[in-house]
Every structure is written in C-alpha cells, then in structure tokens.
C-alpha cells in the first residue's frame, strides 16, 4: 500500500518508476528461461551493439561510464557467449565489440517478451488506454529532453550515477529506488 496518499493518483514519476521496476523484473524472469545468466546491466551494453560492433571507448562514452566498467561487462558477456571482440579492420589498435549469434538471440528474445507483455497489458487495459499511456510516456520523455538520448541509445542507468560517499572523495555507484517492491505484492510499499 502507498503510505503517501497524496501521491496515489498524480505522481507520474513514482508510478513510472514502479512500473519500470515491475516490468524489468518480468522481462528478466521470462528471459531467464532461455538466458539464465543475463542481468539487467547487460541490457545497456547489448543495446549499444544493436546496430553493429563498437569500440569499448565509444560504448563507455555513450553510457557515461568508464572504459574499465565496459571492459569488465564485455569480458563477462564474452565468457557467456553473447559478445565477441575483434580487431578493427581500419585500426589494428582498436578492438570492436559485437553481438554473437547468441547475443542476437537474447536481443530478439527480449523483444518478443516485450511484445508479449504489451499484448497482455492491452488485453487487460484495452488498446485505447495502452496507446494513450505509451503516448503520454513518450511525451514525458520529450518534455524532459530525453528523446535524442533515446534515439541514440545513450540512456544511462540511475544505478551508474556516482555519489560522494565520504569526505575523502571516494565515488561509489549506488542504486536509488523510491520504494520497496515485492513480486508477491499487488501494491508497492512506499515510505
């Protein structure tokens, strides 16, 4: 139950964050049937490779993280068989990261799962409400100036935002969520 009743109906940010969390969990749970090793963070790197291979530095710049962070995830995805590294044909010093057949399969599986969930939402809410909700969310992204980043696949995860952890200046990556969500509960629990 929402403990901030004044937010119940009109807090678009809260409801969007909660829906995103619920839908991310659903997608990952369904995806785990065929791809049990894929994690939420992998999706950001995989999305960078949809249009073809890219150098680690370019991926890091697009995601707003360090090359070391990207390299770590690339090594993990390479070990799992989702990506491969190859020497750039134009510059032998550069290694490009690209999806493998397994990487393209996880991408297509994710798209199919999203289509299933969209169909389920349409069956539950009706086509008109789903269309209106999708339009409102796109408009909200545009109002926040985010559409260029969406189009360029350059959205960053809030989990990657640094925060000053102590007076010594150590930066940590933390996850900030507005509410605790249980997959067993029908309603979010917010404080």
65-84 mean pLDDT: 96
Place of tokens 């995601």: 63
Q: Which single residue is written with the structure tokens 């770590």?
A: 72
Contacts of 46 (CB under 8 A, 6+ apart): 77, 82, 83, 99, 103, 106, 107
pLDDT digits (tens, 9 = 90+) for 153-164: 887 777 666 665
pLDDT at 61 over 70: yes
Calculate Rg over the CA atoms of the chain.
19
At residue 128, φ and ψ (nearest 5 deg) are: -65, -45
* pLDDT recorded at residue 172: 34
Per residue in 86-111, pLDDT tens?
998 889 888 999 999 999 999 999 99
What is the spatial distance between Cα 19 and Cα 21, in angstroms, rounded to a whole number?
Answer: 5
Residues 61 and 70: their CA atoms lie apart, in Å, by: 10
Phi-psi region of 89 (alpha: psi -120 to 50; beta: other; left: phi over 0): alpha
Kindly state the tokens that stand for 9: 């109906």
Q: What is the mean pLDDT of the chain?
A: 84
More confident residue, 189 or 127: 127
- Confidence (pLDDT) at 2: 53
Average pLDDT over residues 161-182: 42
DSSP H stretches of helix in the chain: 12-31, 40-48, 56-63, 67-80, 101-125, 127-143, 147-151
């Amino acid at each position: 139950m929402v403990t901030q009743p004044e937010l119940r109906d009109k807090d678009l940010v809260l409801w969007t964050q909660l829906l995103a969390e619920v839908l991310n969990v659903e997608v990952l749970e369904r995806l785990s049937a065929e791809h049990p090793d894929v994690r939420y963070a992998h999706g950001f790197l995989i999305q960078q490779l949809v249009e073809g291979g890219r150098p680690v530095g370019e991926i890091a710049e697009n995601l707003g993280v360090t090359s070391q962070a990207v390299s770590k995830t690339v090594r993990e995805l390479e070990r799992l068989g989702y990506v491969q590294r190859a020497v750039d044909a134009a510059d032998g010093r550069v290694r490009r990261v690209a999806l493998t057949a397994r990487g393209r399969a996880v991408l297509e599986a994710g798209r199919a799962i999203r289509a299933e969930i969209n169909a389920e939402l349409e069956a539950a809410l009706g086509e008109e409400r789903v269309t209106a909700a999708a339009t409102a969310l796109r408009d909200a992204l545009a109002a926040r100036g985010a559409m260029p980043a969406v189009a360029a696949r350059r959205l960053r995860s809030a989990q990657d935002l640094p925060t000053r952890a102590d007076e010594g200046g150590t930066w940590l990556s933390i996850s900030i969520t507005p509410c605790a969500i249980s997959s067993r509960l029908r309603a979010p629990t917010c404080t």
